[in-house]
């Protein structure tokens, strides 16, 4: 088999502990009126790369039907290993589900914060409407947000693809991480990669 060229990527994130956020930044974040508002801020820390961190990156090489999860507590080492490995193969196309809006901006910002260099030819354009280098399955299936904002589970059901959303889901990742259940997080992340890859296989011949 020739050189693999298509890489599916998915990430799992958690919020940083409030005391890990620089003092003044934490004060700005938590300058809210009610305890409910404060809890909402804390609940969303993992969605922002300035207040969250990556605990798992799943990758799935379509041509090889082979996957790997970079899943560990040391985020800087995780990111360094991820960029080093994919830099050796240089994928021609990246495939994600909401990766232009979330996964790759998050990876890039966390790489910058932790000081992990990114090979320049792997810096992806995350602007809309381009599919040649970065094929965002969700972007395509929502017609660039003109249709409903469906979830991965929803689109798997529509296309008859096995849904990965059994057992653990995104809302439980933080708890699993605190319990040290990294293997289960890795399995969940790779299941998302596989489902995203299957959706891509159904779509790729209909788009450039």
To the nearest 10 degrees (0 to 180), the angle between helices 182-203 and 152-159 is: 50
Domain boundaries, the chain: 6-206
- Cα distances (angstroms) measured from residue 1 to each of 40, 64, 65, 66, 75: 49, 8, 12, 13, 33
Count of residues in the chain: 208
Note the pLDDT of residue 50.
97
Report whether pLDDT(145) > 60: yes
- DSSP-assigned letter for residue 142: T
Note the pLDDT of residue 2.
54
Average pLDDT over residues 100-116: 97
Asked if 41 contacts 91 with a C-beta cutoff of 8 angstroms, the reply is no
Q: Which CATH superfamily is domain 6-206 in?
A: Ribonuclease H-like superfamily/Ribonuclease H (3.30.420.10)
Report whether pLDDT(150) > 80: yes
Query: Which two tokens mark 188?
Result: 């969940």
Note the pLDDT of residue 1.
45
Q: What is the pLDDT of residues 183-203, one digit of tens each?
A: 999 999 999 999 999 999 999
Query: Which two tokens mark 38?
Result: 């404060």
- Between CA 135 and CA 132 the distance in angstroms is 7
Place of tokens 């985020």: 75
Q: What is the pLDDT of residues 43-61, one digit of tens each?
A: 999 999 999 999 999 999 9
- Indicate the pTM of the whole model: 0.92
Q: Is 204 exposed, middle or buried (0-12, 13-18, 19+ CB in 10 A)?
A: middle
To the nearest 10 degrees (0 to 180), the angle between helices 75-89 and 104-114 is: 120
């Amino acid at each position: 088999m020739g050189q693999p060229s298509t890489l599916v990527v998915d990430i799992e994130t958690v919020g940083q502990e409030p005391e890990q956020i620089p003092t003044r930044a934490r004060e700005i974040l938590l300058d809210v009126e009610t305890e409910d508002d404060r809890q909402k801020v804390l609940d969303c820390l993992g969605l922002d790369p300035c207040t969250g961190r990556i605990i798992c990156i799943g990758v799935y090489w379509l041509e090889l039907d082979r996957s790997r999860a970079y899943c560990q507590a040391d985020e800087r080492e995780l990111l360094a290993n991820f960029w080093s490995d994919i830099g050796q193969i240089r994928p021609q196309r990246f495939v994600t589900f909401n990766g232009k809006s979330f996964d790759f901006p998050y990876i890039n910002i966390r790489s910058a914060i932790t000081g992990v260099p990114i090979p320049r030819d792997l810096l992806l354009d995350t602007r809309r409407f381009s599919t040649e280098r970065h094929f965002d399955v969700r972007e395509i299936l929502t017609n660039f947000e003109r249709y409903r904002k469906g979830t991965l589970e929803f689109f798997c059901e529509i296309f008859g693809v096995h849904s990965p959303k059994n057992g653990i889901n995104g809302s439980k990742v933080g708890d699993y991480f605190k319990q040290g259940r990294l293997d289960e997080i890795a399995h969940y992340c790779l299941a998302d990669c596989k489902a995203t890859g299957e959706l891509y296989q159904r779509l790729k011949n209909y788009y450039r």
